[in-house]
Homo-oligomer: A and B are copies of this chain.
Amino acid sequence: MRTVEWNEERVCLIDQRVLPAEFRVLRLETPEEVARAIRDMAVRGAPAIGAAAAFGLALAARRSRAADRAGLWRDLEEAAAILRAARPTAVNLAWALERVLRRCAAESDPDAIRGVALAEAQAIADEDVEVNRRLGEFGAALIPDGATILHHCNTGALATVDYGTALGVIRTAHEQGKRVHVLVDETRPLLQGARLTAWELQQLGIPFTLIADNAAGHFLRTGQVNLVLVGADRVAANGDVANKIGTYKLAVAAKENGVPFYPCVPTSTIDLSTPTGDDIPIEERPPEEVTDLVFRGMPIAPSGVRVANPAFDVTPHRYVTGIITEKGIAYPPFGVSLRRIVETP
């Protein structure tokens, strides 16, 4: 199944909180349940969040008992507000909701709105898979045979509707017959690398080595990495990139060692209305994500410690070699190239 899909009037999600220990599917019946799944990170990854939110809005349209357009519209706007507030950083969330709302606004009949809301959400999901495959082709052209690729967080099928962004690039290179080896950052605090990326690479038969995030610098400095691939939650108009916490330090170390650093994103992740990275809200997540860890039977921190847990950081564009999208690769100056790529039909 896809990471996010519509099935029998429900939004079905692979619950990413329990992988790889368990493969569990959530079947959500209300937009509130979808918002909670996004907030609790049962579904995560900017493109997957976008598709889940779009389906959540379709759910609102179809479950609304409003008989007239005005009543239905109120229900839709209420659901959109709840979904939009679930997480602040990934721009795909707002982008997908706007897209469904805009499509609905063109209809006057409530039943027609119920139909197009689902059709548009489904289109967003289908396009995401197609977009990732095209992105994968552009990115794979950069990967030499025998490459070692350092990867942070999870950007695979689980972060998208299917196939993946940065991991989709790696998968495309692998399917093209190139030998690749992936150094998988475990990605504390939520360990999306160890839990999800390692699991996906295992399924795909792509060779990899799991490392603590702290070890990435050692491999970069000692010349053992050919390129760094990551996803992103939002790309600002100037090319600054918000992505999973730890990306910034990795990008700085990559540049310091002359290793190319490429975020891989659908153009829906590029937000031309956000001028720079400083304008991107950085989500602070619960302290338990850092402390709820047991090592050899023992909690990893004394009780009652104060914790800071920013979920994302901003990598200024000067560390970014290029941004791989489904319409090609944007290179500096990003202020020009990103606008051109977004505006390309």
Binding site for B on A (CB under 8 A): 17-18, 20-22, 183, 186-191, 194-195, 198-199, 202, 207-219, 221, 244-246, 248-250, 252-253, 256, 282, 290-302, 304-310, 313-314, 316
Give Cα distance in the complex from A308 to B184, angstroms: 10
Are A209 and B21 within 8 A (Cβ)? Answer: no
Measured between C-beta atoms, what is the minimum distance from A190 to chain B in Å? 8
Question: Is B246 within 8 A of A215, CB to CB?
Answer: yes
Q: Is the CB of A21 within 8 A of B246?
A: no
CB < 8 Å neighbour of A210 from B194, B212, B306: B306
Cβ distance A194 to chain B, nearest Cβ, rounded Å: 4
Question: Shortest Cβ distance from A11 into chain B, in angstroms?
Answer: 23
The contact of A186 among B190, B290, B298, by CB within 8 Å, is B290
Query: Is A305 touching B249 in the complex (CB atoms < 8 A)?
Result: no
**Interchain CB contact (< 8 A) of A305 among B18, B198, B245, B291:** B198
CA distance A214 to B304 in the complex (A): 21
Task: Report the bound CA distance from A189 to B216 in whole Å.
Answer: 13
Copies assembled: 2
Distance from A157 Cβ to chain B, minimum over Cβ atoms (Å): 15
Which residue of the partner chain B has the closest CB to A295? B293
Contacts of A244 in B (CB 8 A): 214
- Beyond A195-B301, A198-B301, A210-B290, whether A249 also contacts B188 by CB under 8 A is no
Contact status B191-A217, CB under 8 Å: no
Q: Return A148 CB to nearest CB of chain B, in Å.
A: 11
B249 A214 Cβ-Cβ under 8 A: yes
- Note all chain B residues with C-beta closer than 8 A to A295: 190-191, 195, 292-294
Residues of chain B with a CB closer than 8 A to A194's CB = 290-291, 300-301, 305
Q: Given A198-B302, A210-B305, A211-B309, 8 more contacts at CB 8 Å?
A: A20-B299, A194-B301, A207-B306, A211-B307, A215-B246, A217-B249, A218-B310, A249-B253
Chain B residues in 8 Å Cβ range of A208: 305-306
Is A218 within 8 A of B245, CB to CB?
Answer: yes
State the CA gap A256–B248 with chains docked (Å). Answer: 11
Hey, which chain B residues are within 8 Å of A186, CB to CB?
188, 290, 300-301
Contact residues in B for A299 (Cβ distance below 8 Å)? 20-21
What is the chain B residue whose CB lies nearest that of A207?
Answer: B306
Say how far A314's CB is from chain B's closest CB, in angstroms. Answer: 7
Q: Enumerate chain B residues within 8 angstroms of A210, measured Cβ to Cβ.
A: 290-291, 301, 305-308
Min CB gap A92→B, angstroms: 22
Q: Choose among B190, B221, B252, B301 the residue that contacts A313 (Cβ–Cβ < 8 A).
A: B221
Interchain CB contact (< 8 A) of A188 among B202, B213, B252: B213
The answer for the CA separation of A183 and B212 in the assembled complex, in Å, is 20
A284 to B32, CA, bound (A): 48
CA distance A213 to B306 in the complex (A): 15
Contact of A21 among B191, B293, B298 (CB under 8 A): B298
